[in-house]
Amino acid sequence: MSERFSRLAAAMDRLYEFDREPVTPDKLQSGAKFAGLFAGEHVAATEFVIGAFFVLHGVGARDLLWGLLIGNLLAVLSWTFICAPIAVRTRLTLYWYLRKIAGPGVTFLCNIANAFLYCVLAGAMISVSATAAGLLVGIPVPKLGTVLPSSLGWVLICLVLGAAFTTVAILGFAKLSRFAEIASPWIFVVFIAGALAMLPRLGVRPDLGNIWEVATTKIWNGVAAAGQEKFGFWHVLFFAWFCNLAMHVGLSDMAIFRYARKWTYGFFSAFGMYPGHMLAWIASGVMVAAVGREMHPGLMASEAVGIAGIAGVLLAGWTTANPTLYRAGLALQTITPGWPRWKITLLAGAATTVLACFPVFFLKLLDYVAIYGLVLMPIGAIVFAEHWIFPLLGLEQYRAEKEGWTFNGAALAVWLGTLAVAFVLPLHLYFRWLPCWFVAVLAYTGLMAVRRPR
Amino acid sequence: MKNPFLTRLAGWLALLGLGSCLAAAALFFLGRIAESAYKRAFLIGSIVWFVLAAGRKMASGRDAPRNG
């Protein structure tokens, strides 16, 4: 078993060989690059769904604004004080740093979990795009609460889009990535212009004199849609905070912050959070209210911006599903060593396309985002403990690397144990990750202290 | 578009296209133009943005830090 994992780990290492060495000083990037990167990455297809769901969950206008302001600030601070300092000190990706801490076996399992979670996320993005494509050919969008594919037409449109996205991902990931950099400012404009154009339909006067009244009575009026749980300030705050939990507290964004000159570059994440996770969410809330609170991103954008809106939803889904598919493929490649790149992307794309047919993933996107962050958060907690707390307590660091462990049993136990605690914790799903992060940090530190070499 | 002047010009014109999308929405909100005119202007501004920004991107070929 251990030998098999060692072989898999060796194959996995070859895949990530290109970023094995710490980033050298000549490769460091300016703050403007980070601002641009964050601004581009956080205006995605899912923004059409998340902001709209806050309306359907009956969030009040004041709760929304304060929740987004503070929640996004906490996300920025998490990048700045948790992720960026470790990345700048090590200049490594999470993959290589985790390998030193938890061993190649745990890193392998983390990769597989990541691949599956990426596939679901890309599937949700394809579903969002399908709402736009379906509008063109008259295919109805599944109703709220639908779990299984609702019609043959929906399945067909998801299959066609999934096949198209996968083909493009196989043929030209790099080119599409460059195209995505062009598309993202325009997608942001679709959100802002769309919301502005929908305000008259909601009764907002050109002098904006009644905008707060409209916002509190017709958009975020505090009334949840039928079958939707009522959300308040804390739900919004925690959602905004954990929306990218895997990236900041979970430390996935070490991959980009290792290029930062200083840890304070973490503050540049605000360029992604406030336009993408505040303004775009507010805009999609306005749009959903203007179309009679129907969760239909294609219809929302089409009514707001016309044919360009439909293109906007399609592009937003496409450009964000593509890197997600790529990352899923990269992670999956570890279990199929020797497979060519196209074959593994095809496998990831096929899995993603099948998942996209199930509307539950985009209609329960908020819960999925919470679960996604929760599953990967303990890995970040383990790395945080080993990086910061071990030196303070005089515990030896990187024992997995020094002693050649395939699995750091303590790390694996803490990861799985934390998820078990999260499962039984009598708290709302959105609030569970925070106490569980402390549980993971304490448990890992305690277990490794007990395993201290004599 | 190897000429730096043309590259810069394409960049500014692309931004103008993007700005015209927002301006059209603002004019529609203020009731100065009809909905059909707003949506048409948005579409044209979008095409201008994509054509010029893509051309400029291909010419400059700059990359951001890579996420791994």
Instruction: Kindly indicate the confidence band of residue A324, based on its pLDDT and cuts at 50, 70 and 90.
Output: confident
CB A115 within 8 A of CB A332: yes
The per-residue pLDDT for A135 is 85
Q: Which residue from B22, B49, B57 is facing A193, i.e. has the nearest CB? A: B22
B50 in a structural domain: yes
Contacts of B43 in chain A (CB under 8 A): 306-308
Give yes or no for a contact between A71 and A239, defined as CB atoms under 8 angstroms apart: yes
What distances in angstroms separate CA A157 from CA A303, A306, A358, one per listed residue? 21, 20, 12
Amino acid identity of residue A273, one-letter, is M
Q: Give the residue extent of every domain in chain A.
A: 25-450
Q: What are phi and psi of A340, to 5 degrees?
A: -70, 160
Residues A53 and A228: their CA atoms lie apart, in Å, by 9
Site of tokens 């499962």 = A423
Chains A, B: CB contacts within 8 A come to 85
Q: Mean of the pLDDT values across residues A336-365? A: 84
For residue range A278-304, what is the model confidence (pLDDT) as tens digits?
999 999 999 999 998 988 888 999 999
Are residues A189 and B54, on separate chains, in Cβ contact within 8 Å? no
Closest Cβ opposite residue A182 in set B21, B38, B53: B53
pLDDT at residue A35, as a whole number: 86
- How confident is the model at residue A256, as a pLDDT? 85
B66: in domain: no
> CA angle, corner A228, sides to A226 and A229, nearest 5?
130
pLDDT tens, position by position, A144-162: 777 888 888 889 999 999 9
Gyration radius (Cα) of chain B, Å: 15
Is B67 close to A306, i.e. CB distance below 8 A? no
Phi-psi region for residue B65, left (φ > 0), alpha (ψ -120 to 50) or beta?
A: beta
Closest chain A residue by Cα to residue B38: A305
Per-residue pLDDT tens over the stretch A190-236:
999 999 999 999 999 998 889 999 999 999 998 998 888 999 999 99
Could B38 and A197 be called an inter-chain contact, meaning their C-beta atoms sit closer than 8 Å? yes
pLDDT of residue A7: 66
The 10s digit of each residue's pLDDT in A371-422 is: 999 999 999 999 999 999 999 999 999 999 888 888 999 999 999 999 999 9
pLDDT band at A173 (very low <50, low <70, confident <90, very high): low
The predicted structure's pLDDT at residue B65: 42
Q: Name the closest residue on chain A to residue B44, using Cα atoms.
A: A308
> According to the model, what pLDDT value does residue A79 have?
95
**pLDDT surpasses 70 at A38:** yes
**Is B65 at the interface with chain A, CB within 8 A?**
yes
Output the pLDDT for position A19.
60
Q: Which of A189, A200, A307 sits opposite B18 (nearest CB)?
A: A189
Q: Do A16 and B68 touch (CB under 8 A)?
A: yes
**Which residue out of A12, A30, A41, A178 would a mutagenesis test of the B interface target, given it has the greatest number of B Cβ atoms within 10 Å?**
A178
Contact A193 B31 (CB under 8 A): no
Domain of residue B17 covers 4-60
Average pLDDT on A87-114 reads: 88
Contact A197 B30 (CB under 8 A): no
Asked if B60 is an interface residue toward chain A (Cβ–Cβ < 8 A), one would say no
- Give yes or no for B64 touching A (CB within 8 A): yes
Task: Round to whole Å and give the CA distance between A295 and A131.
Answer: 9
Q: Which of A58-67, A280-289, A362-371 has the lowest mean pLDDT?
A: A362-371
Count structural domains, chain B.
1
Residue B67 maps to a domain: no
How many contiguous H segments (helices) and E segments (strands) does chain A have?
21, 0
Give the tokens for residue A90. Answer: 């090590």
Please judge whether B64 and A306 are an interchain contact, meaning their C-beta atoms are less than 8 angstroms apart: no
Please indicate whether, in this complex, the C-beta atoms of B50 and A186 are within 8 angstroms of each other.
yes
A34: amino acid identity, one letter = F
Pick A29 or A290 by higher pLDDT. A290
CB spacing of B22 vs A192 below 8 angstroms: yes
Provide the pLDDT for residue A410.
Answer: 93
How far is Cα A174 from Cα A168, in angstroms, rounded to an integer? Answer: 10
Name every chain A residue with its beta carbon within 8 A of the beta carbon of B59.
none
Q: Give me chain A's average pLDDT, please.
A: 88
Shortest CA distance from A331: residue in chain B: B68
Is the predicted pLDDT of residue B64 greater than 60, yes or no? no
* Contact predicate B39/A306, CB 8 Å: yes
Phi, psi of A326 (to 5 degrees): -60, -45
Of B22, B28, B67, the CB nearest to A189: B22
Question: Is residue B42 a part of any domain in this protein?
Answer: yes
Higher pLDDT pick, A291 / A338: A291
Name, in order, each residue with C-beta under 8 angstroms of A85's C-beta and a sequence gap of 6 or more.
A263, A266
* Distance (Å, whole) CA A285 – CA A49: 9
Q: For position A16, what pLDDT does the model report? A: 59
Q: Residue A219 corresponds to which tokens in the numbers above? A: 């958009």
Grade residue A181 by pLDDT with cuts at 50, 70 and 90: confident
- Overall fold of domain A25-450: Hydantoin permease (1.10.4160)
| Residue B66 pLDDT class (50, 70, 90 cuts) | very low
pLDDT at A95 over 70: yes
Q: What percent of chain A has pLDDT over 70?
A: 93
Say whether residue B59 is in contact with chain A using an 8 A CB cutoff: no
Say whether B24 and A95 touch across the interface (CB within 8 A): no
The per-residue pLDDT for range A225-284, each reduced to its tens digit, is 888 899 999 999 999 999 999 999 999 888 888 888 999 999 999 998 999 899 999 999
CA distance A112 to chain B (A): 15
- Tell me the shortest Cα–Cα distance from A196 to chain B, in angstroms: 6
